[in-house]
Amino acid sequence: MHRKFDCIVTLIICVATGFLGATTISLDANAESSNYDPVTMDLVDIDSVYPPAFFELFIPVDKDKLTGFMLSANGKGPHPTIVLLHGLPGNEKNLDLAQSLRRAGFNILFFHYRGSWGSEGKYSFTTLHEDALAAFKFLKENAQRYRVDAEKISVVGHSFGGYAALRSATNEKSLACVTALSAANPAVIAKSERVNPDSRRYIGNYIDQLIMLDSFSGESAAMELVKHQNKMDTRNYGEKLRGKNVLLIVGEEDTVTPPKLQKENYARYSKINGLNVTAKFIPGDHAFSTSRIQMQRLVVNWMSNHCR
């Protein structure tokens, strides 16, 4: 009986100390610990003075206000900060990615574009990047309040938000990094049957269902795409992205923004001297439904290495 008890105690000690080959978890508060995975693990030590926090806020743009919030990272900071842009209309908000990035030491600013999800103003494809620029300005003007490192602001966008991220970065020289997930290229849509009202794939039919978008019709969406397609062509942004780090990720089964679009962007961007671009193709659809963890690890690791 004593021998059996001794074996049980020994087994418990072995498991606790990792002698049986189990993965040991470091209790170091530093998120850079080699044993800490911010994608799947909660923080193990919270700063009692400057804990992670949530702030509701409004971002001014022209005469309107955008609804949003800030996820502040653990610790005094200042912290590198990411503006997270959703797509069209924004049902997939990638807030799991936002939390992973916060656990990795980034602040996250998330907001809704003008005329969407309660934000003031009228929705338009032509002002998405302007709203992102307003968010960058807001962070710089409120850097001390939200413990933001104003010299290390980056942007992450998904789908139409990926387009907005790339375009806004061409107008903001101070950005450290740009990550585009399943990035849309509006110019490609403008040249397709999706702007033809007689097509079954007419984008207007989809837009007219989107009750979360204010003052934006399917007809106006198609007109904007055709009229502004040259300025919206993400393939032409390479020169103005010079000096930045750019990450492009797309799902191999994505039928909304197919991998071909990313390959075209990468082919152009990779020829630009001084533009550090990385392209990744992973399993999954437009929302990375089967590869959320893989996608998050790619983004978190890449941004931790390039955007601090």
3-state secondary structure the chain: CHHHHHHHHHHHHHHHHCCCCCCCCCCCCCCCCCCCCCCCCCCCCCCCCCCCEEEEEEEEECCEEEEEEEEECCCCCCEEEEEEECCCCCCCCCHHHHHHHHHCCCEEEEECCCCECCCCCCCCHHHHHHHHHHHHHHHHHCCCCCCEEEEEEEEEEECHHHHHHHHHHHCCCCCCEEEEECCCCHHHHHCCHHHCCCCCCCHHHHHCCCCCECCCCHHHHHHHHHHCCCCCCHHHCCHHHCCCEEEEEEECCCCCCCHHHHHHHHHHHCCCCCCEEEEEEECCCCCCCCCHHHHHHHHHHHHHHHCC
Predicted confidence band at 27 (pLDDT cuts at 50, 70, 90)? very low
pLDDT digits (tens, 9 = 90+) for 104-145: 999 999 999 999 999 999 999 999 999 999 999 999 999 999
Predicted confidence band at 14 (pLDDT cuts at 50, 70, 90)? very low
Q: Is the pLDDT of residue 189 over 90?
A: yes
Average pLDDT over residues 61-83: 98
CATH assignment of 44-306?
A: 3.40.50.1820
Predicted confidence band at 32 (pLDDT cuts at 50, 70, 90)? low
